[in-house]
Amino acid sequence: MVSLFKRFHISNAEELQPDRQALYALMLALCLAISPHLMRLPVWFAALAFIVFLWRYLIINRKAHQPGPVLRFLGVITLIYMLHKHYGTLLGRDAGVAMLIALTMLKFLELKTLRDYMLVVFLCMFIILTSFLYSQALWLGIYLFAVVIVLFSVMMYLNHGSRDHLLAMLKRSASMLMLGLPVAALLFVLFPRLQGGLFGLPGDSHSGLTGMSDTMKPGTINELNLSEKVAFRVDFSSPVPVANQRYWRGLVLEEYDHGLWKERRFKKTAVSELKYSLKDVVEYTVLQEASNKKWVFALDMPVLKPDNLEWGPGRSLRAARGLRERLQQSLKSVSQYYYEDISDDTLAKNLDVSSVSGERVISLAGELYRQSGSDKNYISTILAYYRNNAFFYSLQPPMLDEHPVEDFMLNTRKGYCEHYASSFTMMMRLAGIPARVIVGYQGGEWNEQGDYMIVRQSDAHAWSEVWLDEEGWVRVDPTAAVAPERIEYGLDAIRQLVAEGKEPGSLSDEKIKIMLQMSLLANTLKGVTMFWDGVNTRWYKWVIGFGKENQSFLLKWLGFQQANWRDMVILLVILMSIVVSLQALLLFHRRKIFDPAIVQYQKFCNRLQGIGIVKFKHEGPRAFADRIIKLRPDLKTPVSLVTNTFIELRYAGNTGTFQQRKLAQAVRSFHPKRNR
Amino acid sequence: MNTRFNEIRDFLNQIVLGKEKQIELCLCCILAKGHLLIEDLPGMGKTLLAHALAKVLGLEFSRIQFTSDMLPADITGVSVFEASNNSFHFHKGPIFSSVVLADEINRASPKAQSALLEAMEERQVSVDGKTYPLPFPFFVIATQNPLEQTGTFPLPESQLDRFFMRISIGYPDREAERKLLENEERRLVLEKMASIVTEKEIVAWQQEVKRIKTEPALLDYVQDLIQQSRDSGEFGNGISPRAGLDLINAGRAWALLNDRKYVIPEDIQAVLPSAIGHRLTMIQDQDGQVNIGVNPAQRLLEITPV
């Protein structure tokens, strides 16, 4: 291997030793490449970086020795030990990236020849790529693109020893990268791809995702209710449902075990049939954030299950595996529906009150049902009971004792959606009406900038479904009875009410609207946030989320009905040759027309025109200069300087940046005055 | 290098008085390996200039006086039967010389003219099925009288195109004329002088000319000129590709004479009237008349922006 390297190696690269500037540039580039990882690396990396850079500094400025092979070996062993101690492994994403970064830093201690420097540049490129294992956000992409430009400049400096101005070098490498973009875009769009996202991530990359829990136990404070994180975004192709219809069905909790609600164990075949009219169908696409959970949230009530999803209990939808990446899914739902049938099994489950305790609440339910006379009236009675007995919506409810339903209904009477959904459902069951709890999201904020809806974790909600013999499952939201603001205006309205010391449900609609009116500044801020969210969403939808489906859709649109691998490669080759030839043409053309020297010289001529000396079209620059000097001997020095520099640039092929700047400077300082 | 050129210039200026520009063009012609046509009235110093050039360059020189009864063999040479060894032997004609002065070329019949011109083009002579190479360097200076004079066979355009440059000498100015009258005859001065350039040097300069840079911007300008001559509708025939090539080479040689490593538009403009002038005519108007008041080369330069 070594001999192979040597044979193919350009001989002088071995001896070439880049200068100090190259080293500093490389250090800077490495720092830039590492910076997205900074917060994730162990703290002692700072010490490592300090030692490495200090040592290197001493090598350059104090003639210190580079570490010998024994020391280097010991260093690597120590490093591996430290990494293993910190991560518990050397495999996987986190430890792997840390190892790559640490070894790249150590490489600085043995930098010597051009080849070593180039190696570090390539390692930096690789480090840049690893950042995408953590995040694929747009800003990160832009930042890392900039870092690649810096790395290109470093490479240019190393290869040519170019003494160009820093900005000029950055500009040149940027334009080189830009030239590559069309080809990259073509490859991105047309390269045959496998199912799945852009990055196949290693197993340890999904820690720390938030999502909805699969159980519910009122009386424990729910953190989800407070997070502003986006849960999912929705693109509607049908009219958008009104605020109080935006119920996003997630899980259906039918089992009650001493205050803990959970899903029933489910047989896949048992999905009850639904009757609905086609005109009620709402079509939309959900872009759901990674949550590590299987739940897929659909507008109540989903119909026509997509092939890649499964039915869960109670017509909830779920993916085959936890969502480790964003899911983009087209769905259909209906607002008006009718369940035809309920199985005995389900009926029994939804009537189960075996673990409800508390004599008082059981007798209360019996009492109220007797007063109501019918199931429907009983529902109204219970909702009225909430309204009329000083129940309050609160985000900091008191804890409940061992009889949670009774404690809530008769004592604390303070809580949020979970308390109401849970207590309401139990009250139904106690009266012999089948009922269950639905967990999901309610509400959603419309983004004007992108024409889609944002549903946040703070929109998380729980409500009830009740089985009525004539109507099937019917959605009842007891929270609406206590705090209609929560349903109409979202959690923010509740928070604001509380902040102003008012009770939810105590204000009229108009007053709430006035209260919710935002200041101009807040409005602008909101607009900016929404705009950024819109840009990011498109980025995920069209770039990160561009998978096999989008590709075949695009190809169909281009007229390839059954595009196979070979067609795509041929198409790719044809398009790439077209793009590259166009670029080549453009480059040659531009060389002819956009000679910056011409622009400067034109300025020079314009200034002379200002004092009445006009260049003939057919006059060469030297002849023109001679004529000017004859007319105005006092201008000899500046005119000769401009003319000579221009001629050097244009006709002597001496087109360095130095010359360009010299010309620009000479022209800038040329201000001829009219002779009196 | 410039000092060497100055020596040559000084030398020639002593012989041909007050004709710096023409002398510069002659040097340019030599450096670019082109053949020169001098057109002027009798007695203007055409032959003297040619002599001086041959002398300063230290090259072998021969002169052919063209007459109306001349035959090609008078130029190229002839095979003669030698009784001693019973075979034909080729006697080289005057053209086998490094500098050939073809005096009054338009007095000869087209047949004789074409013999010279073919030798100029191919730099070799074929007689009796045998090919003889001409010496290197090979440089023809032809002179001709203006066509209005009697007893001339005008060179057709195709033959004119083979000359790299055409210059005319013109009357000397008053000062130069005075010197001419006062001093010793120039021809005698010339004979006393020693040549100052070696053959090797000339070849080296000719190589140097090939290395003079022509940047895209300059080539653009030359192409614009060529395009203008063909498409503007003002000229009879546009510049031929060979003429375009000659123009560039002349510009290169001119740049070298000015001690520059690259060509600028002014170089092209300086050589264009001589390099293109004899190949470019103004278009005839409806009556078949040519506007002789206009110099086509100057006109071409004026309508082409740099």
Q: pLDDT tens digits, residue range A415-470? A: 888 888 889 999 999 888 999 999 888 888 888 777 888 888 888 888 999 998 88
If you average pLDDT over residues A319-337, what whole number do you get?
83
Q: Is the pLDDT of residue A207 over 60?
A: no
pLDDT the model gives residue A197: 46
Kindly list the residues from chain A whose CB atom is less than 8 angstroms away from the CB atom of residue B302. Answer: 618
Whether chain B has a CB inside 8 Å of the CB on A605: the answer is: no
Interchain pair B215, A591: CB under 8 A = no
Between CA B110 and CA B108 the distance in angstroms is 6
Q: Do B305 and A647 touch (CB under 8 A)?
A: no
Distance from CA of B268 to the nearest CA of A (A): 10
Mean pLDDT of chain A: 81
Distance CA A417, CA A491 (A): 11
| Residue A202 sits at the chain B interface (C-beta within 8 Å) | no
What's the gap in Å between the CA of A619 and the closest CA on chain B? 6
Show me where the domains of chain A are located: 13-164, 215-521, 596-668
Mean pLDDT of B289-295: 65
Say what the alpha-carbon torsion angle A546, A549, A552, A553 is, to the nearest 10 degrees.
Answer: -90
- Rounded distance between C-alpha atoms, residue B156 and residue A275, angstroms: 101
From chain B, pick out residues whose CB is under 8 angstroms from the CB of A650. Answer: 215, 217
Of the ranges A74-78, A199-203, B8-12, B207-211, which one carries the lowest mean pLDDT score?
A199-203
Residues in A closer than 8 angstroms to B305, CB to CB, are 617-618
Cβ–Cβ gap B215/A620 under 8 Å:
no
Check pLDDT > 60 for residue B181.
Answer: yes
pLDDT at A133 over 80: yes
Check residue A343 and give its pLDDT: 81
Which of A215-219, A243-247, A379-383 tops mean pLDDT? Answer: A379-383
Whether residue A135 contacts residue A199, with contact meaning beta carbons closer than 8 Å, is answered with no
Closest CB from B216, B264, B306 relative to A618: B306
| Tokens matching residue A336 | 């008006």
B14 pLDDT more than 80: yes
> Distance between CA B302 and CA B227 in Å, rounded?
14
Given pLDDT bands bounded at 50, 70 and 90, which one contains residue A149?
very high
The tens digit of pLDDT for each residue in B210-266 reads 989 888 889 989 999 998 888 887 787 788 888 899 999 999 999 999 988 899 999
A621–B216 CB contact, under 8 Å: no
Contact, A485 vs A240, CB < 8 A? no
With a cut of 60, say whether residue A317 has pLDDT above it.
yes
Find the length of chain B.
306
Using CA atoms, how far apart are residues A119 and B113, in angstroms rounded to an integer? 72
Report the pLDDT value the prediction gives residue A169, as an integer from 0 to 100. 82
Inter-chain Cβ pairs, chain A and chain B, closer than 8 A: 45
pLDDT at position A13 = 46
Domain B2-199: homologous superfamily in CATH: P-loop containing nucleotide triphosphate hydrolases (3.40.50.300)
A374-407 per-position pLDDT tens digit = 888 999 999 988 888 888 887 777 878 888 888 8
Which has more confidence, A662 or A497?
A662
Closest by Cα among A291, A416, A429 to A366 = A429
Nearest by Cα to B293 from B303, B304, B282: B282
Residue in B213, B303, B305 nearest the CB of A653: B213
Asked if the model's pLDDT at residue A373 lies above 60, the reply is yes
Contacts of A185 (CB under 8 A, 6+ apart): none
Q: Specify the length of chain A in residues.
A: 676
Supply the pTM of this predicted model.
0.51
Is A589 a residue whose pLDDT tops 80?
no
Residues in chain B whose Cβ is within 8 Å of chain A: 213, 215-218, 220, 261-266, 269, 301-306
Residues linked to residue A332 through DSSP beta bridges, in sequence order:
A283, A303
State which residue of chain B sits closest to A643, comparing Cα positions. Answer: B264
Instruction: Name the residue among A619, A622, A626 with its Cα closest to residue A648.
Output: A622
pLDDT over 50 (residue A628): yes
Task: Report the pLDDT value the prediction gives residue A16, as an integer from 0 to 100.
Answer: 63
B211-303: which CATH number, 1.10.8.80, 1.10.3720.10, 3.40.50.720, 3.40.50.300?
1.10.8.80
CB of A462 closer than 8 Å to CB of A418: yes
CB contact under 8 A, B264 and A651: yes
Burial code of A406-433, b = ≥16 C-beta within 10 A, e = fewer? bbbbeebbbbbbbbbbbbbbbbbbbbeb
Query: What pLDDT was estimated at residue A32?
Result: 93
Q: Is A614 left (phi over 0), alpha (psi -120 to 50) or beta?
A: beta
A620: left (phi over 0), alpha (psi -120 to 50) or beta: beta
Question: What is this model's ipTM?
Answer: 0.83
Strand order in the sheet with B165-167: B61-65, B99-103, B139-144, B36-39, B165-167
CA-CA distance, A187 to B306, in Å (whole number)?
A: 44
CB of A93 within 8 A of CB of A2? no
| Predicted pLDDT of residue B248 | 93
SS (H, E, C) A513-570: HHHHCCCHHHHHHHHHHHHHHHHHHHHHHHHHCCCHHHHHHHHHHCCCCCCCHHHHHH
Query: How far is the CA of A443 from the CAs of A231, A242, A250, A446, A457, in angstroms?
Result: 12, 9, 13, 10, 11
Q: Which of B126, B69, B52 is nearest to B95 (CA)?
A: B126
Quick one: closest CA in B to A624, which residue? B266
* Nearest in space to A322 (alpha carbons), one of A282, A295, A349: A295
For an interface test with B, the pick among A643, A644, A648, A651 (most B C-beta atoms closer than 10 Å) comes out as: A651
pLDDT, position B223: 92
Pairing of strands A452-456, B124-127: unpaired
For residue A105, pLDDT over 50 is answered with yes
Query: Which residues in chain B have Cβ-Cβ distances shorter than 8 Å to A617?
Result: 305-306
Give pLDDT, residue A33.
Answer: 93
What does the pLDDT read at residue B254?
93
- pLDDT reading at B291 higher than 70: no
In angstroms, how far is CA A587 from the centroid of its own chain?
36
pLDDT, residue A676, reads 60
Q: Do A623 and B303 touch (CB under 8 A)?
A: no
Verify whether the Cβ–Cβ distance A592 to B264 is below 8 Å: no
pLDDT, residue B288, reads 61
* Range in A504-518, A550-564, A654-668 the model is least confident about: A504-518
* Sequence spans of domains, chain B: 2-199, 211-303
Q: How far is A19 from chain B (nearest CA, A)?
A: 33
Looking at the DSSP bridge assignments, the partners of residue A438 are A252, A463
Q: Across all residues in chain B, what is the average pLDDT?
A: 84
The amino acid at residue A531 is F
Phi–psi pair at A111, nearest 5 degrees = -65, 130
Q: Give the pLDDT of residue A248.
A: 92
Q: Is residue A298 classed exposed, middle or buried when 0-12, 13-18 and 19+ CB atoms within 10 A define those classes?
A: buried
- pLDDT greater at residue B227 or residue A556: B227
Q: Is the dihedral of CA A641, A646, A647, A649 positive or negative?
A: positive
Task: Examine the pLDDT at A221 and tell me if it is beyond 60.
Answer: no
pLDDT in tens, A157-194: 887 655 567 787 888 889 888 888 888 888 888 877 65
Residue-level pLDDT at A594: 63
